[in-house]
Structure 1
């Protein structure tokens, strides 16, 4: 397989950057979005080519991006950045900067000794979505879904090629999975633990996903979802739906609205039928969680006294289950200091020939017994206790947030 050709054909804008932050390569999508020629980029220091807007005293794009890239070099782990405003110099108009917004992910390419030899810098431009959201926070859901669909068309063409591949090199598969399910960074001053456990024989790629995003005020959006099936085909659909829901959650009024946008968009994505997802908005100022579910197992709220409450009062059918758009339900629950919220996919709790309530009971019992553990230790304990010893036949994703 000609990976250089694949790199140039990818619809996502991608730079390859050395640990010294020198641009090693750029694909065609990046050149188009940046309005640059290849000779203007290759071999040059990243922030010489893409400086901050000198007319904006609050510009923080270069500072934030440099910090993320340095984290990747130091840790050897992927780093997902929050939505960034990073103005770009207008093509052919030196000194004139255009207001632009980006959603970046930085992932390392390691050598045989585990050292970072390159950084894959992938960005999705969301300028128009952000502007639409700023003008109308509730938003026109149909219009937003159409915009997301347009940006995904080229990606779907590449996905068809990926579905035909049966034997990707393992390093490429792992890099794909890490790019689509990056390790979360602190959201505000809050931390979350996430885990992804592939099904036996799934080559570490699946249709399960998680996503966390900082919202205005002391708030966080957190979601998990599950595409039917596993392997590259499900992973390609998962990547599209995760990006769409993440973008929608940042600009709509609540979790039900976010799932409505996702449902409209999913109608145009082959393979998205029957996908389940749950979206929650956590507000530490009011100590409330607003949530909505599209056919997904209920999040579990562990209260400080050890009782576990299943958040199941706003559950609707999975994506694509209804022929027409219907507004989704939304519910709200309060929480106390040091409570724990757990979101997960069905691979964590479901077993063949067993009622789902048995698995939910196991989850509640494990949460109660380990309620004193921090988020990372609690996530490890749940996987160790709830997954079958011989390996799960379904993928499992887990998010733990200590409130």
Structure 2
């Protein structure tokens, strides 16, 4: 049988119930309360009866009862699980949950059941605290992730402050966040915001302490707290972050650990940025030095390279650059027009001493206006050839590029390359002067003077190099009535080519005097270059022109064809008589030559390949262009023709190869020739014949009279003083129109003697000197009188 239950009366159940019971009037007056509630609150029996419940509420529960619970109870008649706080007798608080019912009367009563919720509220508070802590940690993690992402995208160390300041404000509610970066040169921390001086690593402050300890340092300052964490990569400190807080509240351990994490992450980002900056800087430096070397090598001339160097340095390396070279006090500076710097003597001495010692380190310099500079020695071949001065922009370090500090190693490398390049240019110019002097001395010759032809030449070296080449031209007499014309091109450049050209030029002259013709000359030249390696594969165009008949014989050894322009401007290339360059002809193979009669008034052009060859254009088109220009300028005076043709064919001022051009005019009128017997009676016939010839040449009356009188006087002198009236002898007379003048040659083969008495003639030469523009007397074998009279403008119809 089941055990019987104990008897319990209703009063005991009410008083000892596991919850508090209260009976209240509608206005809140307590009518009855059980012992359980009294035990929880510490009040004695009868202490609460007759008091209003609002008096034992704690905090906002009283207001809540009056504004929410009572009105809601009157509307709904019942409320459940209303949180409330009661004030115990000792003043502490009791957390509770209330259920209440309103019972209609009479009398009307409010019955309230109270449950102890202390453990529940403690749990809820703990749960809420954990939730808030989790939310705070989530926010910090999110901000940390944001810092990591933003730091990964940074390209400059100065940009690190932004992400860190955001974390300081949002994660820690810091009133101020400052970032300091380590300046190893100064052994100090440099504030990124620029506020305040550098902080020495020996400073006792928290920044230096954090940098030395590699850990977080807390510093209680007046009115606040400052927490400093180092920016660390591996075990190297790169800077510190200072978080400042108002008030004395301490941060939790999670916040401190987060600061350490931020320091490590930002330090790694700084390390990556610096590695990137270093890589970028070195790549830029290597690229700049390569561009510098290439640009200087493409620039000709000592002074030209110096100017080009300062143009390259500004503004990429310095705000101002100045080069002072030792030779002749040469100077180059940029920007143009900037005030030149005067480097003090002691600085120059230090720079030169460093250079002589093989050190390219610069010497710092500061101007009176505060501008800073660096002076570097320019060395080459164990000698100091000058100095390089670089100035910095305002608030910049000397030698600082726009992107990064170029550094002393870069400046030393730059000075080394610049010095060597400038010295190479100086030596090249010196070699060029020697070679150019040699070449021009070989090219400059005195052409045989003959009124039946005129010669004009043009020589232009290649513009892209300082070396001279082996192009040459020459005109020389092969006999009394013929002239040799040659243009050649030796393979190679430099002094050896110029020397070879001189030997070949002399050899052609010597071999041409045998009068065997152009083909024979080329055959003999083949034999000559067989033992002369520098002359092999030389190209030559050689021609001989008979000045009386106009017969032209020519041959080309691997050379471009001569261009003949006949009267009226009809151009013709002479393509016949072609063979290989000198030394390239097989044994036993004969050289060819061709011949034609050149009309008087024609022009003959011989040239080297530098005149017509041009990269990117067909040779035939260039030859056609030369022929067109020669025809277009067939009436241009010979003295201007060579220059105009060269300018038109080389519009950029030069080509990739040297070029020379020789132009020969074959006079368009036969000369006047006469053999006058040594009799005074013959002078009348001479005067008449010469006057007629001058008239056919368009010489005016006034000029004819002077020329005829001077010629007759010269012949009379020859009859009287040269032959002593020996009628068996004769005086030779040759007259020729030469440009804007008439040249006359009077020659005898006698022995000149002075007048025998005062009655004899003696004023003839003085008279000739007045009548003619030029007078030359050659008393060698016989006597030759060379006279020349410039004809008045408009009086020579040639």
- Indicate the TM-score class for this superposition, using the shorter chain for normalisation: 0.5 to 0.7
Q: Secondary structure at the match of 1:301?
A: strand
Q: Residue by residue, what CA displacement relative to the aligned partner does 1:11-48 show, whole Å, maximum 9, x if unpaired?
A: xxxxxxxxxxxxxxxxxxxxxxxxxxxxxxxxxxxxxx
* Paired position in structure 2 for 1:306: 569
* 2:558 is aligned with 1:318: no
Cα RMSD of the aligned pairs, angstroms, is: 1.8
Distance 2:433 2:608 in 1: 25
Counterpart selection for 1:174 from 419, 430, 436: 436
Q: CA deviation at 1:168?
A: 3.6
Task: Give 1:173 deviation, angstroms.
Answer: 3.1
Native 8 Å contact 1:202 1:230 kept in 2:
no
Q: Secondary structure at the match of 1:191?
A: strand
- With over 3 angstroms needed to count, the CA separation of the structure-2 counterparts of 1:325 and 1:312, relative to structure 1, is same
Residue 200 of structure 1: how far off its partner (Å): 1.8
Q: 1:186 to 1:323 in 2, by over 3 A?
A: closer
1:101-116 counterparts in 2 under 5 A? Answer: none
- Give yes or no for contact 2:538–2:582 (8 Å, CA) kept in 1: yes
235, 238, 244: which one aligns with 2:501: 238
Query: How many residues get paired?
Result: 239
Secondary structure of the residue that 2:585 maps to in structure 1? coil
Task: Give the whole-Å Cα distance in 2 for the aligned partners of 1:300 and 1:391.
Answer: 21
The 3 A distance-change label for structure 1 pair 226 and 169 is: closer
Cα distance, 1:390–1:197 mapped onto 2, change above 3 Å: closer
Query: 1:127-276, aligned counterparts within 5 Å?
Result: 168-189=430-451, 190-203=453-466, 205-276=468-539
Residues of 2 paired with 1:326 and 1:295: CA distance? 15
Distance 2:567 2:603 in 1: 8
Q: Deviations over 1:132-167 (max 9, x none)?
A: xxxxxxxxxxxxxxxxxxxxxxxxxxxxxxxxx966
Distance 1:233 1:327 in 2: 29
SS at match of 1:397: strand
Q: Considering only CA atoms, is the larger Rg found in Structure 1 or Structure 2? A: 2
Q: 2:612, 2:437 → 1: CA distance?
A: 28
Counterpart CA distance in 2 for 1:360 and 1:183 is 28
Q: Does 1:285 align with 2:559?
A: no
> Which residue of structure 1 lines up, in the alignment, with residue 662 of structure 2?
399
Corresponding position of 2:27: none
Rounded to whole Å, the distance in 2 between the matches of 1:181 and 1:192 is 13
Residue correspondence of structure 1 range 66-85 to structure 2 within 5 A: none
Distance 1:172 1:227 in 2: 18
Gaps of 5+ in 1: 1-164
Deviations 1:64-112 (A, max 9, x none): xxxxxxxxxxxxxxxxxxxxxxxxxxxxxxxxxxxxxxxxxxxxxxxxx
Runs of 5+ unmatched residues, structure 2: 1-426, 667-798
The alpha-carbon deviation at position 258 of structure 1 amounts to 0.8
- The 1-side partners of 2:657 and 2:467 are apart by 11
Match of 1:49 in 2: none
Shift of 1:287: 1.4
Q: Normalization by structure 2: what TM-score? A: 0.29
- The yes-or-no answer on 1:368 pairing with 2:631 is yes
Q: 1:184 to 1:201 in 2, by over 3 A?
A: farther
2:559 matches 1:296: yes
Deviates more, 1:178-187 or 1:303-312: 178-187
TM-score normalised per structure 1: 0.56
- Of stretches 177-186 and 282-291 in structure 1, the one that deviates more from structure 2 is 177-186
Describe the SS at the equivalent of 2:509. Answer: helix
Within 5 Å, which residues of 2 pair with 1:18-33?
none
Whether the 8 Å contact between 1:307 and 1:368 is mirrored in structure 2 is yes
Distance 1:264 1:169 in 2: 31
